[in-house]
Amino acid sequence: MKFSHVVFTMGVMASVTALSSASFAQTGSNISTGAAVSGSVQVGSGTPPAALPPSRSDNDPAPRVAAPMVPAGGIVSQAGIGGSTAYGRPGVVELGGSIGLTLAGDLTQFNISPTVGWFFTDNLQLSGIVGFNYSSTTTNGVSTSASSLNVLVEPSYHLPLTQSLFAFLGVGVGLGYADGPGAGFALAPRLGMNIMVGRSGILTPALQFVYSTSEVIRTPQGTFIGGNTSFGLNIGYTVML
């Protein structure tokens, strides 16, 4: 064998060895990056499924909701200045009433309404109102009078403007009764202010509209329900227990 043949053979073997090493390095790199796994080719970025945890259902707990708090027994005593509970807080009870008087020419109208109210949550009150209304008119020297009675349940919202001043809106719903026509439905929205007076007093000026359906009118065309309306300014005064 000539020397040149030996050198050529050794060169070929070195080239084959270098190609094998390069091929092994490339294959190892592909396995480590996940580009080719067991004959599969990955499409896009991500993690091969074999490396992920198994699929399972997820039951996340729901967030807790707030529950209204009512004092034990439902009623707070000694509310107001000097106590630990302010007006408009849960458990506060107020007792009192309102009065109204209208004098306009031949019209005289008077109403009085005892009330009791209870705050069942912050700034929301449920009240019971019994309203008595009396009116008298004089036409051509002839006087006529009428009276009515309303029994209402009124939810109302009291918005604190300052520590001693609240704005409120309430809608009373219940029964109305008038002399002659009898009983019917009554609706009485109110809009006014609550003004703290002294330790536990509340002065309440309010505009009130009262609508009652206490009259049935029968005609050849059918039966109609007659309504009575009144509107006025009432001044109320209540005290917290």
Task: Give the pair of three-digit tokens for residue 96.
Answer: 């009192």
Measuring CA to CA, which residue among 130, 221, 231 is closest to residue 176?
130
What is the model's pLDDT at position 89?
Answer: 92
Neighbouring-strand partners of residue 131: 150
What is the model's pLDDT at position 214?
Answer: 61
In tens, the pLDDT along 79-126 reads 888 888 899 999 999 999 998 877 766 778 888 999 999 999 999 999
Rg (CA), the chain: 43
Cβ 229 vs Cβ 208: under 8 Å: no
What is the model's pLDDT at position 17?
Answer: 45
Buried residues in 193-228 as b, exposed as e (16+ CB within 10 A):
ebebeeebbbebebebebebbbeeeeeeeeeeeeeb
Measuring CA to CA, which residue among 91, 90, 158, 88 is closest to residue 121?
90
What is the model's pLDDT at position 217?
Answer: 53
Q: Is the pTM of this model over 0.75?
A: no
User: Residues in the chain with pLDDT < 70?
Assistant: 1-38, 68, 70-71, 73, 104-105, 180-181, 214-227
Cβ 154 vs Cβ 171: under 8 Å: yes
The full 3-state SS of 192-237, as one line of letters, equals: EEEEEECCCEEEEEEEEEEEEEEEEEEECCEEEEEEEEEEEEEEEE
> In sequence order, what DSSP letters do the residues of 113-127 get, joined into one string?
EEEEEEEEETTEEEE
Q: How many CA atoms lie within 13 A of 143 on its CB side?
A: 7
What is the model's pLDDT at position 201?
Answer: 95
DSSP-derived secondary structure letter, 91: T
- Cα–Cα distance measured from residue 179 to residue 175, given in angstroms and rounded to the nearest whole number: 14
Neighbouring-strand partners of residue 53: none
- Cα–Cα distance measured from residue 97 to residue 89, given in angstroms and rounded to the nearest whole number: 20
- Cα–Cα distance measured from residue 170 to residue 188, given in angstroms and rounded to the nearest whole number: 8
Neighbouring-strand partners of residue 175: 151, 185
DSSP-derived secondary structure letter, 61: P
